[in-house]
Structure 1
Amino acid sequence: MDYQYPIDHDWSTDEIIDVIHFYESIEQAYERGIDRDKLLHIYNRFKEIVPSKAQEKTLCREFEEVSGYSSYRAIKKAREASGSIIRM
């Protein structure tokens, strides 16, 4: 990883850690695969920190620009999947 994750500096340390964990989970979905329920659980925590749809879109777009990984597509696939492992 040669990029920085988009974060809000107003978040607490725990919130920053949880948002970074969300980004890492999206990376894992693309690179190795991730448990569907785990990804959705991590996403739900992300939504607690970022309840605004507009802020979510901004952060996810910035993440996709630097990483090439789409959070939207990964979460959509996890919601629609019937299997236990998500691979992008």
Structure 2
Amino acid sequence: MEYQYPIDYSWSTDEVVDVIKFFEYVEKAYEKGVDRDEFLAVYRRFKEIIPGKADEKNICGEFEDISGYSSYRTVKAAKEAEAGKKIKVRR
């Protein structure tokens, strides 16, 4: 993709890597599908870095604006899917 991921420069290098990994999983969920359990594990780590709902909404909204991929819809699909299943989000 030809865009920059939204990051906070106060995060550690590991935190930046983990937030980018979450956004990459969101992209994959749209493009080819991802394992539901793997996605939720990556999302849990993302929530450790960005625990507040308002902060999550802001950064995910920024990501959606630049990429067209909805983190909210992807998380919702993962939570609704059965364990062990693959999730694929449609535009």
Match of 1:22 in 2: 22
1:53 Cα shift?
Answer: 0.7
Match of 2:88 in 1: 87
Q: Does 1:71 align with 2:74?
A: no
Counterpart Cα distance in 1 of 2:66 and 2:18: 19
1:30 Cα shift?
Answer: 0.2
Q: What percentage of residue pairs aligned between the two structures are identical?
A: 61
Paired residues for 1:1-88 under 5 Å: 1-82=1-82, 84-88=85-89
SS of equivalent to 1:44: helix
Q: CA RMSD in A?
A: 0.7
1:6 Cα shift?
Answer: 0.3
Q: What's the TM-score, normalizing by structure 1? A: 0.98
1:9 Cα shift?
Answer: 0.3
Counterpart Cα distance in 2 of 1:78 and 1:32: 14
Q: What's the TM-score, normalizing by structure 2? A: 0.95
Aligned AA (2:23):
Y
